[in-house]
Amino acid sequence: MASISDYVLDAALSKLDTEADRIDITSQEATTYAEATSTYTLGNSTSVSFGAPEDGDTSGRKTACAAISDGTVTGTGTATHYAITDVSESRLLCTGSLTTSQSVVSGNTFTVATFDVEIPDPA
């Protein structure tokens, strides 16, 4: 297995900072842009902000997404995942599980605490 340098991992994580412009909370993990922004979405926010890549918690590299406090709930259900997208390119950038699932009701707002997106070192 190849070993990938921090420079290359950081380049990948930097795409989140330069291209991510929307976060959706979803009822299950999305695998496409359409699933993230339409099929499974329960709400979204365009206040997405990532920090500079740094050492991961246990290995590899990570970047932190700042807390979201202004999400608009557009559906009713249980949000279990998040999806980060690039709207201008209709591109799904990353997905993950929420730390805690949230029951949401259309018309309300949602928050998401700061979280990390991490690329681990090869095992």
Domain ranges within the chain, ordered by starting residue: 6-116
pLDDT given for residue 43 in this prediction: 98
Nearest to 68 by CA among 31, 112, 13, 106: 112
Helix residue ranges per DSSP H, the chain: 6-19, 33-34
* pTM score above 0.85: yes
Residues 37-73: pLDDT tens digits?
A: 999 999 999 999 999 999 998 889 999 999 999 999 9
